[in-house]
Amino acid sequence: MKRILAVNGSPRGERSHSRRLLESFLQACVAEQGEVEVLRREVGRGNLPHVDEAWIAAAFHPQPAQRPAPMQAALALSDELIDELFAADRLVIAAPMYNFAIPSGLKAWVDQIVRIGRTFDFIPDDPQQQYRPLLHGKSALIITSRGDRGYGAGGVNAALNHADVYLRAVLGLIGIERVAVVAVENDEFGGLAFADSYHAAERELAELAANF
Ligand SMILES: Cc1cc2nc3c(=O)[nH]c(=O)nc-3n(C[C@H](O)[C@H](O)[C@H](O)COP(=O)(O)O)c2cc1C
């Protein structure tokens, strides 16, 4: 059975385009593929904690197996989120663009799952590969929604895009290198410009669902 981890990064509910597209994509995956198990992780509307000093001290403990109980507790949620990621075959992230980047809840999730010794290793003496990813064989889809337009490669605002581009970089660090991006633009303009973009995203997602 294929397992999909769906991470929802929008603080909006029914009005969120990325959330709506994510949900219909999941439905299409189940309809097309049959045996699919979906696990949802809400990070846009939840209150995932930011990493703090206790978290950092625990994560960078020189002997992870010797971490005292309070340090283990500081990493408990991070462990849970990372376990979810390891258990999944596929990852889908609904990622609105906020201030050219991603919403803080989604960033909090990233900071919890990108962890030395669990999702990547750092080998300072290896000139070939100082950062070694620890996840293997997974692929991801980012469904992003933007108010403005032209954030895709070659677009007028491409240089300002620190959202899906950033997520792709960080997923690569931990070993998820096959990453597709489907974007909706023009939310702030509405009308035909938005409708065209939204329907194009729907079509792209419908095509991806059978083989995701
Ligand atoms: C706090 C905030 C910051 C935003 N920043 C940007 C931005 O930098 N660029 C942009 O194109 N749209 C921006 N937007 C618009 C959102 O990207 C757009 O409304 C998108 O559809 C939100 O995703 P959602 O529909 O899944 O909630 C911003 C919206 C909010 C609420």
Ligand 1, pocket-test mutation among 98, 194, 197, most atoms within 8 A of CB: 98
Give the mutation target among 97, 143, 148 for probing the ligand 1 site: most ligand atoms within 8 A of CB.
Answer: 97
Region at 48 (left for phi over 0; alpha for psi -120 to 50; beta for the rest): beta
Is the pLDDT reported for residue 129 higher than 90?
Answer: no
pLDDT score, position 189 = 96
Question: CA end-to-end span of the chain, whole Å?
Answer: 13
Q: Is 138 helix (H, G, I), strand (E, B) or coil?
A: coil
- Is 17 near ligand 1, meaning CB less than 6 Å away? yes
Residue 23 beta carbon below 6 angstroms from any ligand 1 atom: no
Ligand 1 centroid–CA 113 distance in Å is 24
Is the CB–ligand 1 distance for residue 18 below 6 Å?
A: yes
Nearest CA to ligand 1 atom 1: 98
Q: How far apart are CA 161 and CA 164, in angstroms?
A: 7
What number does the ligand 1 atom closest to the CA of 11 have? 27
Q: What is the pLDDT of residues 23-43, one digit of tens each?
A: 999 999 999 999 999 999 999
Model confidence over 41-61: pLDDT tens digits? 999 998 899 999 999 999 999
Give distance in angstroms: CA of 30 to centre of ligand 1: 29
Atom of ligand 1 nearest to the CA of 15: 25
* Probe target for ligand 1 pocket from 20, 99, 186, with the most ligand atoms within 8 Å of CB: 99
**Local structure of 39: helix, strand or coil:** strand
Whether residue 5 contacts residue 88, with contact meaning beta carbons closer than 8 Å, is answered with yes
**Closest listed residue to residue 17, CA positions, set 174, 184, 205:** 184
pLDDT tens, 163-207? 999 999 999 999 999 999 999 999 999 999 999 999 999 999 999
Q: Is 128 a residue whose pLDDT tops 90?
A: no
| Domains observed in the chain | 2-209 (3.40.50.360)
Q: What is the mean pLDDT of residues 103-119?
A: 98
Q: Which of 43, 146, 166 is the best mutation target for the ligand 1 pocket, counting ligand atoms within 8 Å of the beta carbon and taking the most?
A: 146
